[in-house]
């Protein structure tokens, strides 16, 4: 077995790339990279009503943001690159039709003239008689005369694939093992619609074969369709690829992950300030693991260690809390310069970029160890750039303590001298001396000082914060706070 590993992700551009799709993309990508193979992207846009160019863009943007590159596939909304293209299904309809004709000619598919009403009736009766509601194959053996008659009556046919009526089709799934389906229980699948186009299951088979995919790694929801697809491969004289069906991703309530549970679109995670690396690592672990339960992976590690054997059969619940923890881990591991750069758009959005005040790099440095999301950054550093109009409730309480006003005035007096260095260590020494001199405990001074200067009870380490803020601003805020106390 020396066939080259080729995997794909084949989204329908009918919305954003959601978390489940992102994970499928990641697994396909990891598997291809692990084996030194190729990863292909294909756009399944045969649903003309629901497919939109905006969705194509959103999906490509999402995959790019995740840091997953494809070797063949679309380059923009319409064009593709790669030797097995085009990679937009709507541009491949002639290919599908060609194969349809072949099946028809070989007697492996047939035209079905049943109307929607007739099919509904068939289903109703079956249900009434407690039989499985499936197509009964009545058009399988129409005579030419009958066919001409129906067509003369204006009936537009669909085309159905002739499923074998006995035996079983085995799906040898790399994750779930051998799964057997009775052929007699499968129905003759529609492969060509009355509206003159291929159905999903038909186009998919043809593309996966012509694009020379070695492995089809996709969501669990496709497992039930796989026996039909395997039969189509055989009818066309092709060898099916290796299949691997991934378990689904659930919401916290056990239902399918949906908007109700929060963000489902990959781009929303980007906009909340998650790092692509976090998403790769977290999503990798949602349904896959190594025997030692390793949690944090570099990208090369992920590629080196990823395998289908480590994939979970049971569904996994998406856990935002763990995602956030992981993002915090990676944010801390990111250089300050990089974090400042990444926080840029968030600061911009909060209107903090142009404001006078300390260098952003210095203020962000004070909080770098703390935040889990880039979107938290503006809130954490904003008080450096905007004097708090009112202290936060907790801070107000601290400032309201007896003697607080005197402490503030005393500090203002102490820090007034411009010849003393306004620097972390020196400030700490002087203020501690001030405490001793006044017979106050450190906390009685530190807490009001923090509250007066920042308007908050939590924040950066005190003296470094003062240094970064600068003497003038600190004094102004001390005075303002003291005045506010009346």
Residues carrying an active site annotation: 259
Report the residue from 20, 74, 378, 459 that binds RNA according to the rule CB under 7 A. Answer: 459
Q: Does 142 bind RNA (CB under 7 A)?
A: no
Q: Residue 66 or residue 326: which is nearer to RNA going by CB?
A: 326
Shortest Cβ 226–RNA spacing (Å)? 9
Q: Does 66 bind RNA (CB under 7 A)?
A: no
Q: Taking CB under 7 A as the criterion, which residues in 327-346 touch RNA?
A: 328-329, 332
Q: Does 396 bind RNA (CB under 7 A)?
A: no
Of 11-19, 262-270, 353-361, 446-454, the window that binds RNA (rule: CB under 7 A) is: 446-454
Q: Residue 16 or residue 383: which is nearer to RNA going by CB?
A: 383
Shortest Cβ 145–RNA spacing (Å)? 29
Q: Does 234 bind RNA (CB under 7 A)?
A: no
Report the residue from 79, 433, 436, 442 that binds RNA according to the rule CB under 7 A. Answer: 442
Q: Residue 40 or residue 206: which is nearer to RNA going by CB?
A: 206
Q: Does 416 bind RNA (CB under 7 A)?
A: no
Q: Hey, how many other C-beta atoms are within 10 angstroms of the C-beta on 412?
A: 18
Q: Does 153 bind RNA (CB under 7 A)?
A: no
Q: Residue 102 or residue 162: which is nearer to RNA going by CB?
A: 162
Burial track 191-223 (b if 16+ CB lie within 10 A, e otherwise): bbebeebbbbbbbbbbbbbebebbbbbbebebb
Report the residue from 2, 141, 143, 180 that binds RNA according to the rule CB under 7 A. Answer: 180
Q: Residue 38 or residue 467: which is nearer to RNA going by CB?
A: 467
Three-state DSSP state, 11: coil
Contacts of 299 (CB under 8 A, 6+ apart): 67, 277, 280
Q: Does 397 bind RNA (CB under 7 A)?
A: no
Shortest Cβ 286–RNA spacing (Å)? 5
Report the residue from 147, 174, 261, 370 that binds RNA according to the rule CB under 7 A. Answer: 370
Of 57-65, 125-133, 208-216, 477-485, the window that binds RNA (rule: CB under 7 A) is: 125-133
Shortest Cβ 119–RNA spacing (Å)? 6
Report the residue from 79, 260, 461, 483 that binds RNA according to the rule CB under 7 A. Answer: 461
Q: Taking CB under 7 A as the criterion, which residues in 296-315 touch RNA?
A: 309-310, 312-315
Report the residue from 185, 333, 429, 433 that binds RNA according to the rule CB under 7 A. Answer: 185
Q: Does 182 bind RNA (CB under 7 A)?
A: yes
Q: Does 316 bind RNA (CB under 7 A)?
A: yes
Which positions touch RNA (CB under 7 A)?
119, 123, 127, 130, 132-134, 176-177, 179-182, 185, 187, 190, 220-225, 247-248, 250, 254-256, 285-289, 291-293, 295, 309-310, 312-317, 319, 321-322, 325, 328-329, 332, 369-370, 428, 442-443, 446-447, 450, 457-464
């Amino acid at each position: 077995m020396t066939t080259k590993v080729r995997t794909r992700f084949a989204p329908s551009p009918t919305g954003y790339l959601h978390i489940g799709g992102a994970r499928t993309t990641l697994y396909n990508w990891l598997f291809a990279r692990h084996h030194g193979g190729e990863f292909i992207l294909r756009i399944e846009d045969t649903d003309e009503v629901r497919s939109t160019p905006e969705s194509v863009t959103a999906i490509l943007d999402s995959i790019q943001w995740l840091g997953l590159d494809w070797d063949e596939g679309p380059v923009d909304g319409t064009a593709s690159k790669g030797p097995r293209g085009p990679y937009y299904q709507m541009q491949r309809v002639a290919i599908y039709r060609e194969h349809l004709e072949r099946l028809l000619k070989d007697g492996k598919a047939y035209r079905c003239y049943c109307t929607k009403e007739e099919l509904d009736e068939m289903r109703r009766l079956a249900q009434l008689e407690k039989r499985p509601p499936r197509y009964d194959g009545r058009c399988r053996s129409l005579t030419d005369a009958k066919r001409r008659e129906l067509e003369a009556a204006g009936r537009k046919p669909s085309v159905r694939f002739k499923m074998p009526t006995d035996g079983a089709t085995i799906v040898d799934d790399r994750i779930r093992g051998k799964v057997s389906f009775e052929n007699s229980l499968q129905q003759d699948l529609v492969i060509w619609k009355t509206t003159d186009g291929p159905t999903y299951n038909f186009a998919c088979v043809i593309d996966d074969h012509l694009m020379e995919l070695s492995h089809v790694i996709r969501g669990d929801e496709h497992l039930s369709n796989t026996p039909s697809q395997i039969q189509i491969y055989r009818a066309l004289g092709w060898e099916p690829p290796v299949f691997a069906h991934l378990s689904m991703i659930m919401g916290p309530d056990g239902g399918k992950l949906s908007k109700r549970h929060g963000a489902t679109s990959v781009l929303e995670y980007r906009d909340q300030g998650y790092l692509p690396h976090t998403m790769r690592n977290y999503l990798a672990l949602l349904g896959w693991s190594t025997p030692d339960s390793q949690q944090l992976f570099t990208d090369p590690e992920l590629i080196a260690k990823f395998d289908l054997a480590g994939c979970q059969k049971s569904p996994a619940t998406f856990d935002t809390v763990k995602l956030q923890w992981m993002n915090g881990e990676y944010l801390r591991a990111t250089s300050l310069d990089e974090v400042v750069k990444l926080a840029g758009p968030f600061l911009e959005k909060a209107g903090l970029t142009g404001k006078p005040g300390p260098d952003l790099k210095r203020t962000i440095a004070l909080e770098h160890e703390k935040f889990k999301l880039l979107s938290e950054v503006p809130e954490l550093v904003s008080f450096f750039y905007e004097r708090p109009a009112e202290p936060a409730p907790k801070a107000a309480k601290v400032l309201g303590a007896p003697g607080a006003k005197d402490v503030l005035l005393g500090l203002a007096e102490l820090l007034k001298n411009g010849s003393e260095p306004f620097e972390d260590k020196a400030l700490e020494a002087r203020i501690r001396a001030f405490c001793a001199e006044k017979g106050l405990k450190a906390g009685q001074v530190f807490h009001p000082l923090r509250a007066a200067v920042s308007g908050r009870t939590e924040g950066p380490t005190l003296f470094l914060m003062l240094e970064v803020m600068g003497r003038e601003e600190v004094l102004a805020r001390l005075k303002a706070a003291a005045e506010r106390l009346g």
